[in-house]
Amino acid sequence: MTSRKLEKYDSILNAALKVIAENGFHGAQVSKIAKEAGVADGTIYLYFKNKEDILISLFQQRLGALVDQFHASIQDTHSAADALRTVCHIHYSELERNIHLAYVTQIELRQSNIELRKAIGASVKPYIKLIEHILERGVQSGEFRSNLDVKLTRSLIFGAMDEVVTSWLISGQKYSLSAQVDGTLDFFLKGLN
């Protein structure tokens, strides 16, 4: 893709994000996205196969970027606990920093049809795998207990963080999300005791 094409491709994805954030999933018509992007309706279809393709691309691109950031950041970590803290920090702070993205991924895109949700699931999988690797690393290094059920725990950890973000959004962002990293890590590392 030339830089000209790439530019328009990006502007359509940005427009989609904004329109969904402002109008909700069901209020995000293709014509509205086109208008926001400053192109004609038909132009959308020069860059995306159909409406679903816009949404999948949006999710993949943004979540893919996050996962890349995760991978890069945990390179420098000295321990599995440290890595987990880094992941949680990025997870919370990036979504706090980008409220549109948070709203769209946590709330709006989840009300999509089954096909789109499958594609979204595929985008989330690498992230859950990343958490799993951190857990394995911790078990091998002796940081985490050896009887840890890694498959189960990766779900517990992902679900816990995911719900904290959603809960923060629904509350109307009345408090700092990134300030929850310490409390979250305390829970992950020490449990309730």
Partner DNA sequence: CATGAATGAGTGTTCATTCAT
Partner DNA sequence: CATGAATGAACACTCATTCAT
Q: Which residues bind DNA (CB under 7 A)?
A: 2, 4-5, 8, 26-31, 39-46, 50-52
Task: Closer to DNA by CB, 112 or 180: give it.
Answer: 112
Task: Closer to a copy of itself by CB, 67 or 128: give it.
Answer: 128
* Angle 86-161-27 from CA coordinates, rounded to 5°: 115
Gap between the Cα atoms of 69 and 91, Å rounded: 10
Task: Closer to a copy of itself by CB, 17 or 161: give it.
Answer: 161
CB of 63 to DNA, least distance (A): 21
DSSP class of residue 35? H
- Residue 4 binds what, of a copy of itself, DNA, none (CB under 5 to 8 Å, by partner type)? DNA
DSSP class of residue 76? T
Gap between the Cα atoms of 55 and 59, Å rounded: 6
- Identify which of 103, 119, 118 has the alpha carbon closest to the alpha carbon of residue 24: 103
The alpha carbon of 22 is separated from its chain's Cα centroid by a whole number of angstroms, namely 19
> What residues line the site for a copy of itself (CB under 8 A)?
24, 26, 81, 84, 107, 110-114, 117, 121, 135, 138, 143-145, 147-149, 152-153, 155-164, 166-167, 170, 180, 183-184, 186-193
Task: Closer to a copy of itself by CB, 50 or 155: give it.
Answer: 155
- Residue 39 binds what, of DNA, a copy of itself, none (CB under 5 to 8 Å, by partner type)? DNA
Give 114: exposed, middle or buried? Use CB within 10 Å, 0-12, 13-18, 19+: exposed
